[in-house]
Amino acid sequence: MKEYFPNIKKIKYEGANSKNPLAFHYYDENKVVAGKKMKDHLRFAMAWWHNLCAQGTDMFGTDTMDKSFGQKIGTMEHAKAKVDAGFEFMQKMGIHYFCFHDADLIPETNDINVNYKRLDEISDYILKKMKQTGIKCLWGTANMFSNPKFFAGAGSTSSADVYAFAAAKVKKALDITVKLGGRGYVFWGGREGYEHLLNTDMQLELDNIARLMKMAVKYGRKIGFKGDFYIEPKPKEPMKHQYDFDASTAINFLRHYGLDKDFKLNIEANHATLAGHTFEHELRVSRLNNMLGSIDANQGDPILGWDTDEFPYDVYTATMAMYEVLKSKGLTGGFNFDAKNRRGSYTHEDMFYAYILGMDTYALGLINADKLIKDGRIEKMIKEKYASFNTGIGKKIVSDKTSLEELSKYACKMKDAKLPKSNHQELMQSIVNQIIHSK
């Protein structure tokens, strides 16, 4: 069996003091944190597209990376080499899941019948590898944004024929996801949006997107898909305005169309910041609505306004993210590294360094979030902040036992109210620093 990364051995946990760049410093998969093994909290996944397909092309230049894996790109031999390289990569990284688009797995042609056959062939091949290695599928999805026919959207397209092609792609991607035992199925509405309202029938577009999702649920359940469907919100890019703008918008959409029983959200860190939120804001909104399903673990760049899909290294953000995950009692999905090496980090070793960075960052996030919760000071301060709702008039408010008339009388009697308790933001930030950096 050909080895694709011969210079790299299985990445092991060596601890924070190790200077070995090809070792984990914090991610120790069997270490128990907050009652569960790290690997079970985190369920890391490899994103097929970034890791095995993307070659460092950007808007102004071509490839810097070589992902040919010894075969001619665009052939089924290459598709299979990607499977082999991908499984070797995941085994060496100790990653137990992967995520894919239909178009990541095969070279697509202009004949959907050929694509269907190729997907059958490649999924047989992947299934064999999965059985040999125990690696599983986290989620699948259909790429309904790269092909030019989707320029006006997939579910939201103006062409009924293109809509049928989108549906046909979803059907097959669901078939393959079920065949590979995927835990979830994702809808990321890359082109489900608009450039200008002047030429857009927003109502029809929204209704049609929902129709496509309803058909997917109906078909998925029919063929035995028991997992969650996910919407992955994103405010823009490639469209100027995307319908699934952020968590709140997506949740409202799902409830409005009665899809909320079958769908949860897949929250991507970089999409959150593009929407003008923090990552933890989007996780909190999802969690409070019982909609937190899965995570696309990456990060954006605060001085760039697009989806840079960087590997996560911001430990503070990972800490707050893991706080939300621990509070949500876990995900139905996992942590998919929807992240790519920088264009200048083009070697195969860089692929490993990137995943080590991402996995260590989330391991630190998990360790810190657990410490934060166990320390209890932050949560105690939040309780104290809202303590006025525990007794007297506050208690009446939160038990729905008062009225505007009564509150008005209460206020008039007091004449004026004192300031609420201090928010103590800097004190809390200082405590977080202390918790994170203490041994």
For the CB of residue 298, give the shortest distance to Ni ion in the complex, in Å.
Answer: 7
Nearer to ligand XLS, 126 or 173 (CB): 173
Of 25, 78, 101, 277, the active-site residue reads 101
For the CB of residue 177, give the shortest distance to ligand XLS in the complex, in Å.
Answer: 13
Q: What are the tokens at 277?
A: 């939120």
φ, ψ at 295 (rounded to 5°): -135, 135
Q: What are the tokens at 264?
A: 């949860």
Q: What are the tokens at 330?
A: 């876990």
For the CB of residue 238, give the shortest distance to ligand XLS in the complex, in Å.
Answer: 9
Is 281 one of the catalytic residues?
A: no
Give the footprint of ligand XLS on this chain (CB under 6 A): 101, 141, 186, 188, 232, 234, 268, 296, 307, 338
Is 104 one of the catalytic residues?
A: yes
Q: Which residue is nearest to ligand XLS (CB)?
A: 188
Nearer to ligand XLS, 108 or 307 (CB): 307
Nearer to ligand XLS, 38 or 53 (CB): 53
Q: Does 244 bind Ni ion (CB under 5 A)?
A: no
Q: Applying CB under 5 A, which part among 21-29, 106-114, 135-143, 261-269 lies near Ni ion?
A: 261-269
> Read out DSSP for 83-144?
HHHHHHHHHHHT--EEEEEHHHHS---S-HHHHHHHHHHHHHHHHHHHHHH--EEEEEE---
Number of residues that bind Ni ion (CB under 5 A): 4
Cβ–Cβ < 8 Å for 337, 297? yes
The single residue among 338, 354, 362, 367 that binds Ni ion, judged by CB under 5 A, is 338
Asked if the bond preceding 238 is cis, omega within 30° of 0, the reply is yes
Could you say which residues in the range 271-310 bind Ni ion, by CB under 5 A? 296, 307
Neighbouring-strand partners of residue 12: 23
Neighbouring-strand partners of residue 61: 58
For the CB of residue 213, give the shortest distance to Ni ion in the complex, in Å.
Answer: 17
Cβ–Cβ < 8 Å for 45, 335? yes
Nearer to ligand XLS, 175 or 338 (CB): 338
Environment class of 330 (CB within 10 Å of its CB; exposed 0-12, middle 13-18, buried 19+): middle
Q: Say how far apart CA 349 and CA 46 lie, in whole Å.
A: 16
Give the Å distances, CA to CA, from 405 to 141, 250, 410: 54, 37, 9
Nearer to ligand XLS, 28 or 268 (CB): 268
Q: Say how far apart CA 100 and CA 138 lie, in whole Å.
A: 9
Q: Residue 192 touches which of ligand XLS, Ni ion, none (CB < 5 to 8 A by kind)?
A: none
Q: Residue 141 touches which of Ni ion, ligand XLS, none (CB < 5 to 8 A by kind)?
A: ligand XLS
For the CB of residue 104, give the shortest distance to ligand XLS in the complex, in Å.
Answer: 10
For the CB of residue 145, give the shortest distance to Ni ion in the complex, in Å.
Answer: 11
Of 102, 104, 175, 228, the active-site residue reads 104
φ, ψ at 49 (rounded to 5°): -65, -50
Helix 348-375 to helix 315-327 angle (10° resolution) is 60
**Residues with catalytic function:** 101, 104
Question: What does the binding site for Ni ion look like in residue numbers (CB under 5 A)?
Answer: 268, 296, 307, 338
